[in-house]
Amino acid sequence: MKRNLLYIVLIFAGCIANAQQNVTLYNMKSMWQRTYVNPGLMPDARFYIGIPVLGSNYINISNSKLNLKAFNSAFQSAGNDSFNLNVSKLADIFRKENYISAELNIDLLHFGFRILKNHFGYNATLRTTSRLSYPGDLFKLLLEGNGGENLGYNFNFDFGLDMMQFIEHGIWYGRKKNDKFSYGFKIKYLQGISIVWAEKSDLSFRTDPGDFSYTLSSDVKINTASSWVGLTDTAFKRGPSGYLNSLMSFKNSGFGLDIGAQYFITKKVSLSASIIDMGFIKWNSNVTNIVSRNPNSTATFSGADFSGFFKDSSDFENSLRDMADSIIKVIGVDTTYESFNRSLFTHFYLGGNFHITKNHHAGILFYGSYYFRKFHPALTLSWNSKFTKVLGVSVSYTMMNKTFNNLGLGLTLNGGPFQVHFITDNLINAIQISSARMLNIRFGMGFTIARKKEK
């Protein structure tokens, strides 16, 4: 039962979890959605409209260490449908700091058109972004306990948590000034739906080697807000209709900006760059702030021995419950209801391309984002081709998140004006999910009109 409990906790953490990459999409000339990653890159069609809700949907899940295959290998069969946990194998899965992220984007509406050298576009996209960082010391405590060599050890439980959902209304303008230079920008109105954000999350835990008492220090501030329900409300009280009503609420609003450009150094070599998701949302509706009453103060108490977590001890659950009650008493938190601002997850792209012909080019792309005091980079090499007006193909190889098996594939297929697309930065992971640490897929369909004629 404990195995199943831990399994569910970890998988749930993975599901709510470095986010947007879209590195294969960046160099796909036949895709209007490439303006999502660089508004200075011009698409090849004069007019585009995506099928509502199905225009282009994107999901990205990533974590720094965990995959299902590695997790299952830590449990060894003991017969009779029972398992023994190999603590050493499980401990090897986690490092000092661990990261989990997820992103889900659904294009509710997207269209664009070109007039002479000017490009215009609009998108309404439902975006859900989540990032979670958790310390390796948490598993050190659960797996090794707080006794033995861990007596007197300061466990660091600092964590990061950002879960946000909003609708992006983007108005895009791009211009191809001449054969060498193009630029673009997108102004966004952001319609906030819900958020859970750990603005501060400093926690430490120590067991005294003399009297085995526990010392806890904390400085926590967790902000929540919602256009749907408050923290003390229940989802069942308002149901799905309440959530649909929240999509029409404008109580939590903000603004964002994307900028990008491309410049041809020669006829064969070009450079491009963009900064995406600069901006913030001000949260005013159903706001709750949970704040430490005495930040960074310490408290000493007695409690449970964590080393019993993986033992067949019927008293452990009661012990843990008593300890949780003690922690709540000694930490001390206050509840306030003050509005707050939260910035978007800003990221950037820097690319170079060698254009062999108008239809075939090789690219190198550097991607970066910053989260929880750490920089998260990615480097992509790609080959991109268009075969008449029917087929577009991109193949990419990416090094990111300390993984080196990320083979990407992008396909666009046109039957007359109707276009479908499928893109992934991790083709192997999409096939072998059990060993995947990242999963990244974009798919959708729409109509393109007056595409450039290519030989």
pLDDT band at 278 (very low <50, low <70, confident <90, very high): very high
Residues 409-427 have pLDDT tens digits of 999 999 889 999 999 988 8
**CA 396 – CA 405 distance, rounded (Å):** 11
Q: Are 25 and 38 in contact (CB under 8 A)?
A: no
Residue in 455, 454, 447, 386 with CA at minimum distance from that of residue 113: 447
**CA 296 – CA 245 distance, rounded (Å):** 41
For residue 397, list its beta bridge partners.
Answer: 381, 407
Residue 279: CB atoms within 10 A of its CB come to 17
pLDDT at 262 over 70: yes
**CA 166 – CA 142 distance, rounded (Å):** 36
Provide the sign of the torsion angle of the four alpha carbons 193, 103, 37, 419, taken in this order. negative
Lowest mean pLDDT among 144-148, 267-271, 305-309: 305-309
Helix (H) or strand (E) holding 430: helix 427-431
For residue 57, list its beta bridge partners.
Answer: 106, 443
Q: Are 182 and 118 in contact (CB under 8 A)?
A: no
Considering 181-185, 292-296, 316-320, 439-443, the range whose residues carry the highest mean pLDDT is 181-185
pLDDT of residue 449: 86
pLDDT of residue 149: 75
pLDDT of residue 64: 67
What is the residue extent of each domain of the chain?
A: 2-451
Q: Are 416 and 397 in contact (CB under 8 A)?
A: no
DSSP state of 84: E
Calculate what percentage of the chain has a pLDDT beyond 90: 41
Instruction: Please give the average per-residue pLDDT across 247-260, as a whole number.
Output: 88
Write out the DSSP string of 240-262: HHHHHHHTT--SSEEEEEEEEEE
Phi first, then psi: give them for residue 309, nearest 5 degrees.
Answer: -60, -40
pLDDT band at 225 (very low <50, low <70, confident <90, very high): very high
For residue 447, list its beta bridge partners.
Answer: 49, 418
Residues 54-81 have pLDDT tens digits of 999 999 887 766 555 556 666 666 666 6
Residues 151-182 have pLDDT tens digits of 877 777 778 889 999 999 999 999 998 889 99
Residue 214: CB atoms within 10 A of its CB come to 19
Tell me if residue 147 falls in helix, strand or coil: coil
pLDDT at 35 over 90: yes
Count each helix (H run) and each strand (E run) in the chain, helices first. Answer: 7, 23
- Domain 2-451 class, CATH top level: mainly beta
Lowest mean pLDDT among 141-145, 174-178, 243-247, 341-345: 243-247
